[in-house]
Structure 1
Amino acid sequence: MKFYGYNKCGTCRKAQKFLDDQGVAYQSIDITETPPPKKVLKQAIARYGLKKLFNTSGVQYKELNMKDRVKTITEAEALDLLAGNGRLVKRPIAVNGDTVTVGFNEDEYQQVWAK
C-alpha cells in the first residue's frame, strides 16, 4: 500500500495510527514532495468525484482561486494541477492496487483497510 500524506497533518497522523494499529504495512510518501500520479488520481476521481480531491482548506487552494476554477475545470486540467502540486490534493490518499481512499474516515478505513 502507498500512503500519500504529510507529517504535519493531524488527519494524516490519525490515518497512519489507524493503519499501524491494524498492522497494515504501507509505504509513506510525502504528498507535498511527491504528489500521487495521475493513475491514482483518476481512481480517486472515479470513487469520490473531482471536487472531493481538492484540499479546500489549503493555502494553495485559496491562492490559486480554486473555489471558482473548480466549477469549470476539466478533468484533464484538474489532473495536471493535482499531479503537479501535492498541496492542492486532499490528504491522505491511501492506495493499494485498484483500491483507493481519500481523506480519513475511520468507518471507511475499517471497511476498506482493516485486516
Structure 2
Amino acid sequence: MRIFGLKACDTCRKAAKALDAELVDIRATPLDPDQIEAFHTEFGAALINTRSTTWRELDEAARAMDPVALIQAHPAVMKRPVIERDGALTLGWSKDVQARYGV
C-alpha cells in the first residue's frame, strides 16, 4: 500500500500512520505522467484541489492547463491523499475512506 501526498500535509501523515503505509511525497518524488493520468482517469475533476492555496495563487492560464500537466507543474494542487492498494485507488481521507480501510 502506498499513499501519494505531501510529507508536510497533516492528513497524509495521519493516513500513512493509520494504515501503516509508505508515504510517497509527490514533491520529493514527482509522479510520472502515466500515474497522474491514471489518477485523473479514476477521479476526474475531483483530483484538482480548487480550495488549496496553490490553486488560488494560479493565474487563469495555469488553471486552464491540462490536469496532468498542471499537477506535474504544481504537485500541491492535487487533492490528497491518493491511496493505492492492490491496484485500487482511493482519494481523500474522509470517514468513508477510513471505514473502507477499517480505521
Say whether the fold is shared (TM-score over 0.5).
yes
TM-score (ref. length: structure 2): 0.73
The number of residue pairs the alignment matches comes to 102
Which string of whole-angstrom CA distances, capped at 9 and with x for unpartnered residues, describes residues 28-58 of structure 1? 2112222333333223223321x21112232
Structure 2 CA distance for partners of 1:35 and 1:102, relative to 1, 3 Å? farther
TM-score (ref. length: structure 1): 0.67
Structure 1: which 4+ aligned runs deviate by more than 4 Å? none
Partner of 1:100: 89
Larger RCO (CA under 8 A, 6+ residues apart): 1
RMSD in angstroms over aligned alpha carbons?
2.6
Partner of 1:43: 38
Structure 1, gaps ≥5 residues long: 21-25
Structure 2 CA distance for partners of 1:99 and 1:110, relative to 1, 3 Å? same
Aligned residue type for 2:96: D
Contact 2:3 2:81 in 1 (8 A): yes
- Determine what percentage of the aligned residue pairs are the same residue: 29
More divergent stretch after superposition (31-40 vs 81-90): 31-40
